[in-house]
Chains A and B, each alone.
Chain A
Amino acid sequence: MPGSIVVGLDGSEASIRAAEAAADAARHHGLRLVFACVVPWSPYSFTTAEENERRSVDKAREEAAARDRVLDPLVTRLSAAGDLEVSGIVRHGHPAETLVSVAREHDAAWITVGRVGQSRVRTLLFGSTPSSLIQLSPVPVLVVP
């Protein structure tokens, strides 16, 4: 029996709508809500010495920003009614891969993300988190427009 719905958040309007949709579903099915904010990061990127020196500081700053701007307001608002168990996580990594591992850790019934709504050219060049998520995820993926 799965225990949660994992929602990928990036602060965009679509991702907020995804969170709302997931909240409705969580109430209906009696599931926990896990909000995950992934800061895009790769262990193989090239960096300068000065960036390396500041990396720990920057990581902490990025996490704080994600909590303050994206996670905390949503968690506070959705848990206010008291009928939902809501938690928020910030991770660094490849967005889709990281969401998949969060889903595994939290025994997710499915993953909900917002649609990116980017141009075809952009998608062709850089791909999109929802489409790579569909390829990687062991559980269903729900994309909210």
Chain B
Amino acid sequence: MQTVLAATFDEQVDSWFAPISERITSVVFYAVPLDFVDDGVVLPLIVVWLVIAGFFFTIYLRGFQFRAFKHAIQLTRGDYNDPRDAGEVTHFQALATAVSGTVGLGNIAGVAVAISLGGPGATLWMIIAGLVGMCTKGVECTLGVKYRNVYPDGRVSGGPMYYLTKGLEQKHPRLGTFGKVLAVLFCIFTLGGAVGGGNMFQANQAFSQAQSVTGGEDGPLGGGAAGAIFGLVMALLVGAVIIGGIRSIARVTDKLVPFMAIFYVLACLTVLFANFTEIPNALWAIVSQAFTPEAGFGGVVGVLIQGFRRAAFSNEAGLGSAAIAHSAVKTNEPATEGHVAVLEPFIDTVVICTMTALAIVITGTYADESSAPGVQTTSAAFESVVGWFPIVLAIAVILFAYSTMLAWSYYGLKAATYLFGESMLVDRTWKLIFCLFVIIGASSTLDAVIGFSDSMIFLMSLPNIIGLYILARVVKREIYGYRARLETGEIVPVAERT
């Protein structure tokens, strides 16, 4: 009796959630049918929107992300950290915080989805999307620092809501109201993205992986209410940190996540080396099928869209979330954080996503249609080489999911306090809602969740990128001005200062 009740609970959450999710998804992913190319090929406008922004800024700033790379590493290493600023947030810390928010399930599940639906060729487009996304990130984070907010009590925070209001107002007083509208929209979408991609999608995939390594449907987590119970535990752990202020848990995760990320890359490399004779074939498949998939030219568009879409979901370039994470850095030069931020999509997409992609392509697990594409696809690739890897992957997935949730609860909080004002009531209400959605996410089926998370997260890019275009010249001045002073030797590393 109890299990029947429990089963209906999960199903009820699901049936309540699915129609809402479908409606939002169909609006956000409004796609233009490209029948003249091939039957059934559609082009989601939102993906075009993100990619065009990436290419626009790459051209406008003349390949800034590539020229910035070396200096970004020097900044992150601390070569330019003023000793007087010891004790403040360093470039390394700002980057690490942002990376722990972005390295999540997009890198494991998202990549698997892209390759399962688009074939190995999607990898190449994903990497290209990552490379142009580096530029968008640099632009956002420069603005994030330039227009950040210093509260009367000394706290520092920034993000699109501030550059959309302050930046646009400064550009032209008549743009002020428009900026406010964009900022409010951005915050509403951020709240949605935070509960969607930043929370439910993470909880859902974490549960799915935990369930599969403990014996699937027949294991201890196979019961009807298991999703809800898993979600409850996860929600309590999230709540302990964000509401209870138990920093020690957050600190432990913060230390574990980088290790898990390194371990994850090592595990991918193990898969590659175990199949090293297959590496040339896999690389060839990735490059050749990016242009000539079996489905003809129409297929190319389909593959490209999958690659771009999953890359955007993973590295969040253009969404504006990173601008919130990077803004607290101690610097007088906004362009420095713009430099450092280009490393984020590089680590996330060009390195980690590519590793996942290679492991999946080499082992061929993407072709298995017996299970839905997602973490399972990656897990199967790992399992084919070392039997116990899926367990480690499950731990990694849960930790990545957890740290991503903590990051997004913060982004959501910043959006909520921007909309409703700084108060304990807003703070607590938001955090409680956030925890509630962890439970909903863990007990919902993937389709409903993935659709909702994608759509809300991608919506953030609408107001954000409009703002980026309007402020493009401001960014150019900041970055070029900084680089000019760097070249003339006005700005030198600490070790060379006299």
Contact = CB atoms under 8 A, between A and B. Distances in A.
Nearest to B90: A43
A43 B157 contact: no
Nearest to A60: B154
B270 interface: no
Interface of A: 39, 41, 43-57, 59-60, 62-63, 91-93, 98, 101
Nearest to A54: B155
Contacts of A52: 89, 93-94, 97, 328-329
Interface string B81-107: 101001111101110110011000000
Interface string B129-172: 00000000000000000000000011111000000000000000
Contact of A43 (B93, B154, B250, B410): B93
Question: Interface of chain B, helix or strand or loop or mixed?
Answer: helix
Contact of B86 (A46, A47, A57, A92): A92
A47 B88 contact: no
B156 to A, nearest CB: 6
Contacts of B411: 49
Contact of B155 (A46, A47, A53): A53
B22 interface: no
Given A47-B96, A48-B97, 4 more contacts: A49-B97, A49-B407, A55-B88, A101-B83
B250 A48 contact: yes
Contacts of A57: 153-155
B312 to A, nearest CB: 21
B470 to A, nearest CB: 26
A24 B484 CA distance: 54
The 8 A-B residue pairs whose C-beta atoms are closest, nearest first, are A92-B87, A52-B328, A46-B254, A43-B90, A59-B87, A92-B86, A49-B410, A57-B154
A112 to B, nearest CB: 22
A48 B81 CA distance: 20
A62 B87 CA distance: 10
B27 to A, nearest CB: 30
A54 B97 CA distance: 14
A53 B328 contact: yes
B335 interface: no
Contacts of B407: 48-49
Nearest to B328: A52
Contacts of B154: 56-57, 60
Contacts of B267: none
For A41, A62, A63, the residue with the greatest tally of chain B CB atoms inside 10 Å of its CB is: A41
A39 B100 contact: no
For A39, A57, A101, the residue with the greatest tally of chain B CB atoms inside 10 Å of its CB is: A57
Interface string B5-48: 00000000000000000000000000000000000000000000
B92 A91 contact: no
B461 to A, nearest CB: 20
A53 to B, nearest CB: 5
A46 to B, nearest CB: 4
A55 B100 contact: no
For B83, B89, B247, B325, the residue with the greatest tally of chain A CB atoms inside 10 Å of its CB is: B89
